[in-house]
Each structure stands twice: as C-alpha cells, then as structure tokens.
Amino acid sequence: MTRQGWTANSPLESERFAWLDTISVPVQKSWHALFGANKGTMYAKNVLNGVPWRHRVHPAIIIWPLGAWTTAALLDTLDGVTSRNGTSQYRASADASVAFGLVGAVPTALAGWADWVDQYGHQRRVGMAHALTNITAIALYAASMGLRMPGMERRRTARVLAGLGYAIVGAGGVLGGELVYNLGVNIPHVLYPKAPVKWTDVLASEELPVGEPVVVDVERVPVMLLRHEGNIYAAESWCPHAGGPLNEGKFEGCIVECPWHQSRFDLRDGHPLQGPAATLLRMFEAREESGRISVKPSYEAEEWPPAPAPPAERPALAPQ
Ligand code: FES
C-alpha cells in the first residue's frame, strides 16, 4: 500500500485542533439567534453579507482597519525615532490612526461573523481561528489606545502593543487567505466535490501501466493514479491553482507539471515545487490487493453535510 505523508494545507485541519469546534458550535448558535431575531436583524445580516451590492462586504471593508493600522505602524515608528525629547509631530496622528482602525474593526468583524455563521466543517473551524486571532489583535490595539490617553500615557508600551497587534492582524490575514483560496469559503460546494472517506475500488492492476497516469472517477472527483518504481501515487487530477488537468501535464518520475501554467508538484506528498500553485495537492492513499487497486483520501477528510431534501412541491414564483 502506498501511503502519502502530510497532506493537509493547514495544521488547523488536523484533529489536534478539534477543540476549536467545541467553541464554534455554541458561538455559531448565538449568532444565528441574534441575526434571526427579527426582520431588522435579518436585514442587517443581508447588508453585512453584501446582498444589496451583490458583493461580499468583509473582504472589501477590511481595508478600513488595516489601512488605519498600517498608517499607525508607520507613524508610531516615526514617533519612536523622533521623540527623544518627549514628543513629536507624529504622535497625535498615530493615536488617531489607532482609534480610526478600532472604529473600523467593528463593522469589519460584524461582516465577518455574518459570513461565518453559515459555515461548517473545516471552514467553520478555520473561520473561528481567524476570528480569535483578530479579536486578540483588536484587544491589543484597544489596550494600546488606553495607554495613549492623557493621564494613563505609557508611550513605549502602547507602541509595542500596537506592533504586536499589527503582526497578529497579519496572521489573521493568512487564515483569511486559507479560508478563501484553500477551503473555498462562499464558493458553491458543487465546485468543490469531496471524495467519500472510505476505500473505493477503482481499477484492475493491469489497467495501470508503469509511468502512465490514469484518471478514475471517485464520485465526481477525478483521481489521477501513477505507478512509479513499485509505488502507486494517487492525487486529485485538478491542479489546485485553477483546476488544470494534471494528468495531461509533463511527468518526470513522480514530479508532474501542470499543462496550464506550469506549476510543478511532487506526487510523493503533494507538495508544490513551483508556482503559481502554492498549495498541496489533495492526496489519496492507494492499495493494490488481489489484482485490484483501491484509493481513499489521505487528507484529514471532512465531508459536506448531506444536501437538504428538495421541497415536495416547488413554491410558486412571485408574479413579475
Ligand atoms: S491550473 Fe495548474 S498551474 Fe494554473
């Protein structure tokens, strides 16, 4: 049996972080109750989701706190360098930027919660980690703001706290990228089919010659198999960059190059070796027994919940 190594793009997909789910479930229920409380809160959620503009609000509005805090980081640095005699011309602007970012963090966070409330599985878990990271950053900025106030002023500590907050906002951004690019949050699940978490018999041994990739369909997921030096390697044949057909790419041993934009991957563990793809291939374990080959997802698998049953009768459309 061929067993691939580390194949999750984020450590958060590992069961070690299952504790995040125990927080997520009650928090999500509370947001559901809040957003669904009455027509006004449901309308507010629509606005936060971006329904009136037909565009998500959260990724657009993030520029408000992020821009303000980037400005604050620059002004704090200039303040630190030029304020040896006690004050500087940059101080008031730095403080205003921190405060402006804190104000902007409120609608940004609300828009994020409004998007997160309808997620589940790894998306919900990584979304919770993203939220906790950003809450930590906001708390640091709030503490920094407090230490800039007249009477409580501790300028150096305030600058350090703001710097830490800025770094943590960056970590939150990494998790936000993970949600969008790797987990396909708010992208129709039909575009991200998942193979069933079980062994699936796919091929007779003689149908997989040495060095020639073969693609099999595992419940709508195309899985590419390659026999090389006595091992069978198996991975989704969609390139994680933009879905190029890897089985039509160039092969050098167990290295494959995508035919669309030339990303290269090592089929032994799915790691990208050359961009533009920057994420792992979704790998499968493969086993060969009694002349048959079977595969099973080797990533920390999760399955979408079953689709809800369609209504018995279609509701009548409103008159145009
Ligand atoms: S689709 Fe494979 S590199 Fe772009």
Query: Could you give all domains of the chain from N- to C-terminal order, each with its CATH number?
Result: 11-190 (no CATH), 193-297 (2.102.10.10)
Q: Decide whether any atom of ligand 1 lies within 6 Å of the 261 Cβ.
A: yes
Q: Decide whether any atom of ligand 1 lies within 6 Å of the 236 Cβ.
A: no
Task: Note the Cα 197 to chain centre separation in Å.
Answer: 21
Q: What is the reported pLDDT for 300?
A: 53
Strand order in 283-289's β-sheet? 200-204, 292-297, 283-289, 231-236, 221-228, 214-218
**Nearest CA residue ID for atom 4, ligand 1:** 261
Q: Decide whether any atom of ligand 1 lies within 6 Å of the 256 Cβ.
A: no
- What span, in angstroms and rounded, lies between the C-alpha atoms of 316 and 195? 35
Q: 3-class DSSP state for residue 128? A: helix
10-residue mean pLDDT series, the chain (320 residues)? 48 77 92 91 91 90 97 95 80 96 98 91 89 98 96 92 97 90 73 76 90 88 90 89 88 91 88 83 88 82 46 44
- What span, in angstroms and rounded, lies between the C-alpha atoms of 256 and 239? 10
Q: What is the reported pLDDT for 299?
A: 59
Q: What are phi and psi of 218, to 5 degrees?
A: -115, 90
Q: What is the reported pLDDT for 146?
A: 97
- What span, in angstroms and rounded, lies between the C-alpha atoms of 270 and 276? 15
Residue whose CB lies within 8 A of the most ligand 1 atoms, among 236, 263, 273, 279, for a mutation test:
263
Place of tokens 């069961």: 15
The pair of structure tokens assigned to 48 is 């936060």
Q: Decide whether any atom of ligand 1 lies within 6 Å of the 260 Cβ.
A: yes
Q: What is the DSSP string of 27-57?
A: HHHHHHHHHTSSHHHHHHHHHHHTGGGTS-S
**Could you tell me the distance, in angstroms and rounded to a whole number, from the CA of residue 297 to the centre of ligand 1?**
22
**Could you tell me the distance, in angstroms and rounded to a whole number, from the CA of residue 261 to the centre of ligand 1?**
4
Q: What is the reported pLDDT for 308?
A: 44
CB 286, CB 235: distance < 8 Å: no
- What span, in angstroms and rounded, lies between the C-alpha atoms of 197 and 57? 35
The pTM for the full model equals 0.73
Q: Decide whether any atom of ligand 1 lies within 6 Å of the 239 Cβ.
A: yes
**Could you tell me the distance, in angstroms and rounded to a whole number, from the CA of residue 262 to the centre of ligand 1?**
6
Torsion-angle region of residue 273: left (phi > 0), alpha (psi -120 to 50) or beta? Answer: alpha
CA-CA-CA-CA torsion for 58, 127, 105, 142, nearest 10 degrees? -170
- What span, in angstroms and rounded, lies between the C-alpha atoms of 18 and 81? 45
**Could you tell me the distance, in angstroms and rounded to a whole number, from the CA of residue 111 to the centre of ligand 1?**
32
253-258, long-range: CB < 8 A, 24+ apart: 253/228, 253/229, 254/226, 254/228, 254/229, 256/213, 256/226
**Could you tell me the distance, in angstroms and rounded to a whole number, from the CA of residue 249 to the centre of ligand 1?**
10
Q: Decide whether any atom of ligand 1 lies within 6 Å of the 242 Cβ.
A: yes
**Nearest CA residue ID for atom 3, ligand 1:** 261
Residue 283: C-alpha distances to residues 180, 277, 278 (Å): 20, 15, 15
Q: Decide whether any atom of ligand 1 lies within 6 Å of the 241 Cβ.
A: yes
Q: Decide whether any atom of ligand 1 lies within 6 Å of the 221 Cβ.
A: no
Q: What is the reported pLDDT for 171?
A: 95
Q: 3-class DSSP state for residue 289? A: strand
